[in-house]
């Protein structure tokens, strides 16, 4: 007896942009505002499957080039004191701009942290769900 069933098409899938780098001037201290630094963003988007998985057409998915541009606009735009606020604003923008996105998880890293200590970076993660 043969099995003629086929697996269902997933209802969602995940798009990830890893280690996006931007120069900006966020931070509490005057030196951070004056000098600026690089910030790194990881973006994980849970996307409604729509037709992308079966039709192989860009119109059926979230164009990650446009996602990158939206992240860049937020990170390099208005200065913020806190990376928590910045990560939240990125997530909000992505949910607003891309209707297929059901969940946006943004991790933001700040490598040049002005504290007396040795560390790679400070990092926050914010997740918003539609």
Specify if 52 maps to a domain. yes
* 4 pLDDT more than 60: no
**Model pLDDT for residues 83-124, shown as the tens digit of each residue:** 999 999 999 999 999 999 999 999 999 998 888 888 899 999
**Model pLDDT for residues 6-40, shown as the tens digit of each residue:** 567 789 999 999 999 999 999 898 888 889 999 99
Provide the number of structural domains found in the chain: 1
Specify if 65 maps to a domain. yes
One of 2, 110, 117, 122 is an active-site residue; which one?
110
Interatomic CA distance for residues 1 and 78, integer angstroms: 64
pLDDT band at 3 (very low <50, low <70, confident <90, very high): very low
* 1 pLDDT more than 80: no
Specify if 73 maps to a domain. yes
Specify if 4 maps to a domain. no
Specify if 107 maps to a domain. yes
Q: Which domain holds residue 81?
A: 22-129
pLDDT of residue 31: 85
Specify if 46 maps to a domain. yes
Say whether 75 is catalytic.
no
Indicate the burial class of 40 (C-beta count within 10 angstroms; 0-12, 13-18, 19 or more).
middle
Specify if 110 maps to a domain. yes
Specify if 14 maps to a domain. no
pLDDT of residue 126: 98
CATH of the domain at 101: 3.30.1130.10
């Amino acid at each position: 007896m043969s099995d003629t069933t086929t697996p269902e098409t997933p209802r969602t899938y995940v798009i990830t942009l890893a280690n996006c780098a931007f120069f900006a001037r966020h931070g509490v201290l005057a030196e951070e505002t004056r000098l600026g630094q690089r910030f790194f963003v990881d973006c994980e988007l849970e996307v409604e499957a729509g037709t992308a998985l079966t039709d192989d057409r860009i119109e059926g998915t979230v164009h990650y080039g446009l996602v990158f541009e939206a992240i860049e606009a937020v990170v390099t735009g208005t200065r913020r004191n806190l990376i928590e606020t910045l990560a939240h604003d990125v997530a909000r923008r992505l949910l607003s701009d891309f209707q297929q996105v059901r969940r946006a998880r943004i991790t933001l890293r700040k490598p040049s942290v002005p504290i007396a200590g040795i560390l790679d970076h400070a990092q926050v993660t914010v997740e918003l769900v539609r």
